[in-house]
């Protein structure tokens, strides 16, 4: 039986705490709740860590969050050797906010990179301090300095970042919204979540289920740490926080 978890983070990525009820504990000890603020690993963004607070004052450390039989089933993976809650038990939820906020800033930075480098995406991975986006680029005409300057122009402009929903038909009518060369957004639910940058999405709009900051200015200072050749037409751009190191 697949459960459907209400994903509170989709409407408000800034929720740090919430309450929820246990609906199941699977045979591997994974905890399923009726709703959650914990993002599950997906789309290159790692799942949240944090803890669940019990009524007796004890807590259950959560070391990973993953999806189950469907994207809507979110499983909270506890650290080994802890007591597990009972079905129906009410818990307080608390994510590791500092880690999440770094991931939100980085994920938004990856979106900005796809604006600075408007080429098909062949892969991506978001991390707290070093993220990457791979592009299908036939030549190596981009320099770290040029791309960093473009990124920081977008950051300093402090464009708003927001989400909106479109229908499957709207997506089909606007295939350019999908930047990934190999991965298509899930369809069939009738609603596709777009992450938009700029007034009315004027800077960028693309399907994404991840968490992001509210404005490009909140991303902070970033730079391209390295551009790597990964195959004949594949270039890997690594994004890091802070100013570009002096040569």
Instruction: Evaluate if residue 139 carries a pLDDT over 90.
Output: no
Q: Across residues 47-51, what is the average pLDDT?
A: 98
Instruction: Evaluate if residue 182 carries a pLDDT over 80.
Output: no
Question: Mind giving me the DSSP string for 1-31?
Answer: -----EEGGGT-TT--EEEEEEEEE-TT--E
More confident of the two residues 139 and 121: 121
Q: What is the mean pLDDT of the chain?
A: 93
Pick from 37-41, 82-86, 112-116, 168-172: least confident: 168-172
- pLDDT for 229-239, tens place per residue? 888 778 999 99
- Residue 230's alpha-carbon distances to 37, 123, 143, 202, 213, in angstroms, are 36, 11, 16, 31, 30
The phi and psi torsions of 156 (rounded to 5 degrees) equal: -65, -25
Torsion (CA) 185, 189, 195, 200 in degrees, nearest 10 = 120
Model-level pTM? Answer: 0.94
């Amino acid at each position: 039986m697949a459960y459907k978890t209400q994903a509170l983070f989709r409407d408000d990525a800034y929720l740090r705490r919430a309450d929820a009820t246990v609906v199941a504990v699977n045979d591997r000890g994974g905890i399923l709740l009726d709703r959650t603020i914990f993002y599950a690993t997906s789309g290159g963004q790692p799942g949240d860590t944090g803890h669940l607070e019990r009524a007796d004052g004890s807590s259950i450390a959560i070391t990973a969050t993953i999806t189950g039989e469907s994207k809507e089933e979110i499983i909270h993976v506890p650290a080994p050797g802890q007591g597990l809650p009972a079905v129906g038990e009410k818990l307080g939820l608390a994510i590791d906010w500092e880690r999440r906020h770094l991931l939100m800033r980085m994920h938004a930075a990856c979106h900005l990179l796809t604006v600075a480098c408007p080429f098909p995406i062949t892969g991506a991975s978001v991390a707290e301090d070093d993220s990457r986006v791979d592009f299908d680029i036939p030549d190596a005409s981009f320099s770290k300095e040029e791309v960093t300057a473009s990124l920081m122009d977008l950051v300093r402009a402090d464009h708003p970042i927001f989400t909106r929903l479109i229908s499957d038909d709207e997506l089909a009518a606007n295939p350019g919204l999908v930047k990934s060369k190999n991965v298509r957004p899930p369809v069939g639910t009738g609603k596709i979540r777009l992450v938009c940058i700029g007034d009315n999405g004027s800077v960028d709009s693309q399907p994404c289920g991840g968490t992001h900051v509210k404005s490009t200015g909140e991303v902070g200072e970033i730079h391209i740490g390295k551009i790597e050749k990964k195959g004949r037409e594949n270039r890997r751009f690594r994004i890091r926080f802070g100013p570009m190191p002096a040569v």
